[in-house]
Amino acid sequence: MRNLRVNAERIAADLASLAAITDPDRPWTRRAFSPRFDAGRAWLAARFAAAGLQVTTDAGGNLLGTRKGRAGGGTICLGSHSDTVPDGGRFDGVAGVVVALEVARMLEERGLTLRHDLCIADFLAEEVSVFGVSCIGSRAMAGVRPPDWLTLTHDGRSLAEALRAVGGDPERESKRDDICAFFELHIEQGPVLESGGLDIGLVTAIAGITRIEILLTGRPDHAGTAPMHLRADALVAAAGLVQAIDAKARAEAAKGVHFTATVGEFAITPGAANVVPGTARLLIDARAVARGQMEAFLVWLETALAALPAGIAAQSRVLSDNLPTPMDPELIARLEAAAKACGARALHMASGAGHDAAFLARIAPAAMLFVPCREGRSHCPEEWAETADIALGAEVMAEAVLAFDAATEGDPA
């Protein structure tokens, strides 16, 4: 079924238009709560309206386009996010918003009215924002945005004020109870699909993310006079620990279930060439689909800290601990059947990155599909996905939406 009902040229034109709305010296940059983001939102709102959608911004700051169904009641929601990381957001999130819009346009052009309402969503600030937090809009829609986030400030402005500036309302509840199904398309952000010659990734689960801060304390000494055998060098201990963490993560990943661990932040003091390092701070980002595997890793880490060389004291602190989120088996099956109907080669796989779908899954059945991206690159200027791959993903999503709508009543789950 490669004779697609969606319009690939229109998808490509939309992606190019949004890419052009970027900080000119930092392509592709359109961060939430910035003038560029506002311009992108205005462009999207116009496109939503041109597609015949009722355009609103909910209390959580999410831009929504709604197409009423003929039966009333429940809603099928499609979408992703249009904000970007610095220097790397040409397709990440944006492809999912454009594809959701294209599905709505295809239905309109073919005169197809679903039994369910259809909601196209551009979720606010999925990426880490200037306020230091992420998935602000999808957390609000799920009713799990922490209340104290509203008092976070950046450059003298609170998050509550920033929400009002994008059309949200921090005083109102934005949790939805009418969504029957949520579908999100995203570029894979990894090399599996491209390297395997595959078209579609069917996401089985979104990995839980745990971040752990480690502080190692040794003893600062003169680098020229402290004998090597009497040193308590925090950096040497930290270097060994980083290697051990990498080896442990590789062993866990070799079990065939998605697992990663990365030391992404590292600092030593006093930081002088002629001083033995006295302290080292490490920040570990660990991700797992199987919660038991993460819990075992945390136990292993405490054992590794207890076995550090003499003279090194260790402190650990879990900064955040988000559970893995399984996707809905029924919706995965719908996407798998749709991929087969479209002649697309599909693979069941986990997502190591976080997504808005993880929060929508708290209030509704949710599913994700991945499309290939060049060399697996993402969060960088070289991020690229072929229009044909995105269009095929849009066709798979449209097929799954039509099948779900035909098989279920227009009532909330």
383, 241: one domain: no
216, 134: one domain: no
- What is the per-residue pLDDT across 110-132, written as a single tens digit (0 to 9) for each? 999 999 999 999 999 999 999 99
88, 225: one domain: no
Residue 413 in any domain: the answer is no
> Element (H or E) spanning 236, and its range?
helix 234-253
Q: Among 268, 287, 321, where does a domain finish?
A: 321
Residue 144 contacts by C-beta under 8 Å, 6 or more apart in sequence? Answer: 359, 362
402, 258: one domain: no
Residue 130 in any domain: the answer is yes
391, 366: one domain: yes
Q: Among 321, 353, 387, where does a domain finish?
A: 321
pLDDT at 178: 97
143, 235: one domain: no
pLDDT at 413: 45
Residue carrying the six token digits 């492809």: 95
pLDDT at 2: 59
182, 246: one domain: no
Q: What is the mean pLDDT of the chain?
A: 96
Boundaries of domain holding 302: 208-321
Amino acid residing at 240:
G
399, 339: one domain: yes
CATH code where residue 254 lies: 3.30.70.360
Q: Is 257 helix (H, G, I), strand (E, B) or coil?
A: coil
> Could you tell me the pLDDT band of residue 371, with boundaries at 50, 70 and 90?
very high
For the segment 70-94, the average pLDDT, to the nearest whole number, is 94
78, 195: one domain: yes
Q: Is the model's pLDDT at 237 over the cut of 80?
A: yes
| CB contact at 8 A, 381 and 28 | yes
Residue 51 in any domain: the answer is yes
> Could you tell me the pLDDT band of residue 73, with boundaries at 50, 70 and 90?
confident
* Domain total of the chain: 2
Alpha carbon distance 376, 385 (integer Å): 9
pLDDT at 411: 53
What Å distances lie between residue 274 and 220, 221, 222, 234, 278, CA to CA? 10, 9, 6, 14, 12
The angle formed by the CA atoms of residues 170, 174 and 176, to the nearest 5 degrees, is: 170
Residue 303 in any domain: the answer is yes
Residue 83 in any domain: the answer is yes
Residue 1 in any domain: the answer is no
